[in-house]
Amino acid sequence: MMTYARRRVTAAVVFTALVLGLGGRTAAVTWTNSYTKALAEAKSTGKPILANCTGSDWCGWCWKLRDEVFKTPAFEKWAAERVVLLEVDFPKRKRQPRALRVQNQRFKAKYGVGGFPTILFLDSSGKVLGRSGYRRGGAEAWIKNAERFLPKPSKPADPEPSPGEPASRPAVFLGSGPARGKGAVVQLDLTGKVVGTLALPGGPRGLAVQASGLIAAIRYPPRIVRIDAAGAVKPLLVNPAMIASPMAVAAAPKTGAIVFADRRSAALYRIPAKGSNKPVRLLALAAPGGRRLDRASLAIGKDGRAILGTDAPAGVYRFAPAPGAALGDPVLKMAASVAADPASTRWAAAFDLALRVHEGDKKPVAITYPFGLAPINQAVAFGPDGVLYVALADRGGRCHVLRADLEAKALKPLLTREQPHVASFAVGRRMPWKR
């Protein structure tokens, strides 16, 4: 694992190139310019649409509205909770794709837009809820006026899940602990509230979500344990002669089979879903100079293929996790933390400075991290909602969990946790642990 200081030196050398090649700064809120996508998001989220009809390169009052309202933290916080943002732009100098120009002219004619800026509030069917524009008084006054047109926000009850009852809400799991010493897994909801904490005999270097709970790889004392939905910790594999230092783990979405990497033996093993817990050796990894593994991250996709990010040799590999398997050539030539969506063909790789998301033959989506943040050991996870989440650490040791907005190519902050020695991260269904 690259140290923080070394990572920042590397960042200083290549930061500009990565930003130019992989994207710009992280946006706090996302504006779409697609009317169709805005309607679809409004239907799926239940939020109304805020449509900003603007002249981005010539309209002075549009600029004032942008600077005094839309770029303020107060508006960004409000908008993230209350509306879907749609920009309908009518520039005079800036060139637009023909399809976008046609869409915007039709929008203008449909809603009778005659001046700029015009703000329309629409429901998910496109019906007008209200109109606004520039107003003096700053963001708070503007938001207060906007609320007159919007339905009151509903706050559904959020009861605690009972044992044995499936919990549909996603939860974040952070595994922490020193190299030698007691460890823990903390369960948080998406607001950062702690909903459960479990003590472990050591710090988990890897976490994987299974239908029945979690799987944790503990490097010292060496063992693989299962954490069931009620929070009971049960040893799955305790055999120091065979596994000297497990450091990464993954569970197959369909079969439940477990694959893990062992640091000292520099090899991958599989534990069958049923029958004997005796691990089966899959393949040996070529650690540089015959050393122990310094870095390994595992995931198993919907198709049953394993994804390995490692430094032995450096790269990201995809292969069938069967005895006698061969890594083959890397699909990416740098070590990374990896994750796979159990419900689709998407997978992700978190490098030292940027995140890449792959899906079939589509062009990968690349997102740079906010400045000053770097990935933890196991830094990326898909949730049961299909959303991609990333865990990054700052210089002070705080852990930040962010949600990836693939359309906007941005990472949106979710929660920050003051928790030392965080090394592993997973997102799964909420479990009724005791607090």
pLDDT given at position 237:
82
User: Residue type for 129, please?
Assistant: L
Q: What is the pTM of this model?
A: 0.63
pLDDT given at position 263:
86
pLDDT given at position 27:
42
> Would you list the domain boundaries of the chain?
31-149, 167-429
Read off the DSSP letter of residue 332. B
CA distances from 185 to 236, 311, 324 (A): 17, 26, 34
pLDDT given at position 239:
66
Distance between CA 183 and CA 249 in Å, rounded? 17
pLDDT given at position 327:
84
CATH 3.40.50.720 fits 31-149, yes or no: no
Omega before 221 within 30 of 0, i.e. cis: yes
CA neighbor of 206 nearest in space, from 119, 117, 255, 269: 269
pLDDT given at position 246:
87
pLDDT given at position 154:
55
The stretches in the chain having pLDDT less than 70 are: 1-28, 154-168, 239-243, 273-277, 287-291, 434-435
pLDDT given at position 236:
85
CA neighbor of 400 nearest in space, from 188, 251, 199: 188
Report domain 167-429's class.
Answer: mainly beta
pLDDT given at position 50:
97
Computed over every residue of the chain, the mean pLDDT equals: 85
pLDDT given at position 37:
93
Please, are residues 70 and 63 in contact by the beta-carbon 8 Å criterion? no
pLDDT given at position 166:
42
pLDDT in tens, 48-98: 999 999 999 999 999 999 999 999 999 999 999 999 999 999 999 999 999
